[in-house]
Amino acid sequence: MITIIDYGSGNLRSAAKAFERCVREANLDMDVLVTSDPEVVAKADRIVLPGVGAFKDCRDGLNAVTGMRDALQEAVIHRAVPFFGICVGMQLMASRSLEYGETEGLDWIKGSAKALELSDPTLKIPHMGWNELQLSSDHVLLNGLKNGDHVYFVHSYHVVTDDPAHVLATVDYGGSVTAIIGRDNMIGTQFHPEKSQEAGLRLISNFLKWNP
């Protein structure tokens, strides 16, 4: 079972449709379930955490679902269930965010969600639209992806990791912007794979078949 966590943040139907499509096209025997039930999440085979908006709002929304953070910790950290964080869901994997003050994250990947700092004053924030991936890892989840693949962003913050090895891909937007992070059984994308057409669907398909 693939669980997409419903905690009041994110375009859940869009994400669910993308995962359902990848399951169908790969002929996988998997169910995709959108849920806010921590007991279901604790027993899941794969977990997806979407997120849009402000980091603190998303963190507070997650905390407001009784038992959800404990269920995530049990599944992702103790059982090593494959985990996929999307947009702010990726930022929540970090130690903290510096958006509107300092807010703690899940602390699964050491680092901070920081505001984009652009060297080109003509570029706009939020960073919105398509950009070209630059892969910095040969991680198995990147199989079939290549430098220059286009993915879709809507964000003003990105994760700056303490360990550069946890950055799997970047894009150039007035400087290097973190696009994909990961370690062990976890991956996160700052872009929206469900809106990123071929490249996004390839990444989702890889995740569905991944056995870290």
pLDDT over 80 at 82, yes or no: yes
Confidence of residue 8 (pLDDT cuts 50, 70, 90): confident
pLDDT (0 to 100) of residue 11: 74
131-175 per-position pLDDT tens digit: 999 999 999 999 999 999 999 999 999 999 999 999 999 999 999
pTM, entire model: 0.96
Q: What is the 3-state secondary structure (H, E, C) of 9-78?
A: CCCHHHHHHHHHHHHHHCCCCCCEEEECCHHHHHCCCEEEECCCCCHHHHHHHHHHCCCHHHHHHHHHHH
How far is residue 140's CA from residue 130's CA, in Å, rounded to a whole number?
23
Confidence of residue 36 (pLDDT cuts 50, 70, 90): very high
Active site residues: 87, 192, 194
Mean pLDDT over the full length of the chain = 96
pLDDT (0 to 100) of residue 48: 97
Element (H, E) at 96: strand 94-97
